[in-house]
Structure 1
């Protein structure tokens, strides 16, 4: 696609794929240095202990759950706590990433952890490159390169080299958003399926397709809307919805419990609200979290609710009014709205919320639009500083309830 009118393209010295590879490599070396330092700073009483290694950190936390899925599969009988409630178990983790790593492991001396980290690294590069290609059409090549650099070096960039499914999910997601932007709907059929079995979130993509279809209808005079495109959007929305609920059905069929998946997900919430045996209620998680965090931080419960409302209004105004966000195109804005609504509906926000915001990474393009070198340099510094803060707390320490990645 041609560059947008009025946006200059610098004279290219290296192919874009190689330029992105160099940016990504430098970012990964910085992250590796942070992991080495975090392992050295880990002490007795921290998550990984005084003898921690970079390898321990790379396959820690949820990486252990993915390994457990790869080795043991999924339980036919849900484990229970002493109180008779469903305990944390493998059904919270989708199968594609752990089984893909298990398939690759025999080629790497049988090391599942090495295979998982290599998948994350490769998928992270793919996601960075696709993000650049997707944003280049909207904001120009230079700004898109900066956005890719912000993404590759961002506060949560450690996810690109640990045994988590985030990198792979982001790769599928960015490919899907790129396909919608390019009106290449045929690519989306397999992408939706693999995305849905990599990480939760495909229901947000179903909502995005619904909103996108409505927007296409109202914008059909500016861009003709053919019958084939309508069929694709409707069919893809139905497919994303079906895939989004399929894991719940599979868990129910295997365990015999219709609520197996939802009860498994709710088991993690009890780490913050002990004794909570309530069922899943859409949008209740954020309300409960506002009450919990408001009380924990000394604001009071109503203070927590007020803080939540202020954050939501600020985000809404930024997505609707900020010219830097509008420059990214309607697809990125509709996806951002859809994913935030999905999080509000299903998630209980705690320290993992930073990781769960990664699918909003196309918004890095808004930070790259201002052309001031001081601004862009400042964003990079903030990204790297935030990355160290996150790695230090979650990996060098990781010994309290708000230090869980």
Structure 2
């Protein structure tokens, strides 16, 4: 009954449901498998060439190689939880600590270790399983937000330059699964699912505030352009969900404050990571990008800023946006605004852009066929580039993934 009601309102999902005998899931599952084989081959090749580092011995096995960097912090969280007393550096500031890493991913991985799996296997298995589930949910989402583009859009995401992250000991796979589910629930007006998904999403990776902003923008647009078709009950539901998402967006900051007794503990923890680049500075919204680009490019930073903003505007306002649902575009805008407000640009930026995966539906409008082949080929070729510059440990490496 529920599926019938949803498919009546969503022709694209009706088409998928009607082809149940053809097993709609075969395509996204097959594409996921091919994409994981490609990323695994690249990661294995680099693992065999990895020199000894603080993370691994020389030539580590694939599991050890897949659980470096932040995966070690997730391991610490899974074993020890979070400190009630924050570490203080020699200059009197809060140092790097586990509060920068949210609890859902390491706690789920810990459940897997309880059945006998070592941490490395548990964390990678969780990421791989979540990436498969993400591929299936994202395919359904793409079919709804951009009918006819779902196959190529999913290929862009699963073969993207940062696609190896889908099988590393990071929270991205799980977060993207939750995000895809939340976006699909939004599109289907399955509000009850959002009440459940948004807290879990917000405690997996930062995203609650961006989702609240996207809902708020959608509320205002519908109120101003489609008021008659926006009944009061739905308005109250959307407003409530926006507030709910915002509350959980601040939830981890509140938890950190309650445990440590410091209202600035979470922000100070996050700032400790960027201090290696620019020293200790206060967080002023919308300033990290100018500050960061100036650090990277000197006097040329305004040109880089204009270029980045121009690329985002071209993506979101260009003709390829046509045929892509408003909700997907608003989420992309909201998340980019969130990054613009608080994120310091560095090598992790590429990974932090993964939540705008719905934008792949816009890129999927590219024609003709050779252009599509070039786009996918570039995605695959850039995977080893990302691994080399961001994941592989090269001496005193500061290009964190």
| TM-score, normalising length: structure 2 | 0.92
- Whether contact under 8 Å (2:35, 2:158) holds in the other structure is yes
Change (3 A) 1:372 1:10: farther
* Residues in 1 aligned to 2:52 and 2:258: alpha-carbon distance in whole angstroms: 43
Tell me if 1:294 matches 2:331.
no
- Whether contact under 8 Å (2:67, 2:168) holds in the other structure is yes
* Residues in 1 aligned to 2:129 and 2:53: alpha-carbon distance in whole angstroms: 33
Structure-1 residue corresponding to 2:224: 218
What is the deviation of 1:393? 2.3
Structure-2 residue corresponding to 1:101: 109
Tell me if 1:235 matches 2:240.
yes
After TM superposition, the structure 1 stretch with the greater mean CA deviation from structure 2, 279-288 or 67-76, is 279-288
Aligned residues: 391
Tell me which of the two structures has the higher relative contact order, counting C-alpha pairs closer than 8 angstroms and 6 or more residues apart. 1
* Residues in 2 aligned to 1:314 and 1:31: alpha-carbon distance in whole angstroms: 27
Structure-2 residue corresponding to 1:159: 165
- Whether contact under 8 Å (1:69, 1:98) holds in the other structure is yes
Structure-2 residue corresponding to 1:314: 311
The match for 2:71 among 63, 66, 73 is 63
What is the deviation of 1:212? 0.9
What is the deviation of 1:60? 0.7
Structure-2 residue corresponding to 1:325: 321
What is the deviation of 1:138? 3.9
Structure-2 residue corresponding to 1:246: 251
* Residues in 2 aligned to 1:281 and 1:159: alpha-carbon distance in whole angstroms: 30
Structure-2 residue corresponding to 1:3: 12
- Whether contact under 8 Å (2:63, 2:124) holds in the other structure is no
* Residues in 2 aligned to 1:205 and 1:144: alpha-carbon distance in whole angstroms: 22
Instruction: Report the RMSD for the aligned CA atoms in angstroms.
Output: 2.3
- Whether contact under 8 Å (1:336, 1:360) holds in the other structure is yes
Please list the CA deviations of residues 208-240 of structure 1 after superposition, one character each: whole Å capped at 9, or x if unmatched: 11001111112325x711112101111001111
- Whether contact under 8 Å (2:208, 2:245) holds in the other structure is yes
Structure-2 residue corresponding to 1:388: 384
Structure-2 residue corresponding to 1:270: 275
* Residues in 2 aligned to 1:72 and 1:97: alpha-carbon distance in whole angstroms: 14
Structure-1 residue corresponding to 2:45: 37
What is the deviation of 1:3? 3.4
Structure-2 residue corresponding to 1:128: 135
Please list the CA deviations of residues 135-187 of structure 1 after superposition, one character each: whole Å capped at 9, or x if unmatched: 2134334x211111111111111111111001111111111111111222221
- Whether contact under 8 Å (2:105, 2:174) holds in the other structure is yes
Which consecutive segments of 4 or more residues in structure 1 shift more than 6 A?
Answer: 7-13
Q: What is the SS of the residue equivalent to 1:16?
A: coil
Instruction: Give the alignment of 1:64-83 within 5 angstroms.
Output: 64-83=72-91
Change (3 A) 1:149 1:267: same
Q: What is the SS of the residue equivalent to 2:58?
A: coil
Please list the CA deviations of residues 357-395 of structure 1 after superposition, one character each: whole Å capped at 9, or x if unmatched: 000111111222235321222221111111111112233
> What runs of 5+ residues in structure 2 fail to find an aligned partner?
1-9
Change (3 A) 1:289 1:266: same
Structure-2 residue corresponding to 1:18: 26
Change (3 A) 1:177 1:399: farther
Q: What is the SS of the residue equivalent to 2:48?
A: helix
* Residues in 1 aligned to 2:282 and 2:226: alpha-carbon distance in whole angstroms: 43
Structure-1 residue corresponding to 2:94: 86
What is the deviation of 1:51? 2.8
Please list the CA deviations of residues 327-362 of structure 1 after superposition, one character each: whole Å capped at 9, or x if unmatched: 211111111110011001111010000000000111
Please list the CA deviations of residues 258-297 of structure 1 after superposition, one character each: whole Å capped at 9, or x if unmatched: 1000000000001212xx23222111211210210112xx
Structure-2 residue corresponding to 1:283: 286
What is the deviation of 1:46? 8.9
What is the deviation of 1:100? 0.7
- Whether contact under 8 Å (2:55, 2:69) holds in the other structure is no
Tell me if 1:51 matches 2:48.
no
Tell me if 1:145 matches 2:151.
yes
- Whether contact under 8 Å (1:147, 1:368) holds in the other structure is yes
* Residues in 1 aligned to 2:39 and 2:16: alpha-carbon distance in whole angstroms: 32
Structure-1 residue corresponding to 2:301: 304
After TM superposition, the structure 1 stretch with the greater mean CA deviation from structure 2, 149-158 or 68-77, is 149-158
| TM-score, normalising length: structure 1 | 0.91
